[in-house]
Amino acid sequence: MKKNNNFKQIIINFWQGKIYLSFSFWVVLAIGGTIVGLPAYMITDSVIDNFSELSALLFLLAIIFQYIYMIFAYVGTWRSASNYKPKKKQWAWGAIAQVYMTLSIIRTIVEIIKSLNI
């Protein structure tokens, strides 16, 4: 039972931005986001056209999970970047991470709009 409580506390700490920026950015956002996003990039339109109802439902659930995960990852990493205090003569990694995330979100929105042919 103690292990579940620790995991829950890690999730809460991440959401509140209390986790190191390096871990938040590289592990949760970059690596985790890549892993969670793989199904969306690997499955082509021709594969989707041949999905059964169950396969389509599972794919839809995977996409929903991907977006929930990415929102969670962006919010936690953004808060971690906001809490980051650089040492003297050190780069402002928090601000750099926030600029990267902003550009990434804009790119994602543009890609969604392009895929909808709007």
How big is the CA angle at 27 (ends 32 and 79), to the nearest 5 degrees?
100
Task: Please indicate, yes or no, whether the overall pTM of this predicted structure exceeds 0.85.
Answer: yes
Tokens of 14: 């991440």
Question: What pLDDT sits at residue 33?
Answer: 96
**Rounded CA gap, 43 and 21, in Å?**
32
Q: Which of 91, 97, 99 is nearest to 20 (CA)?
A: 97
Residues of the chain predicted below pLDDT 50: none
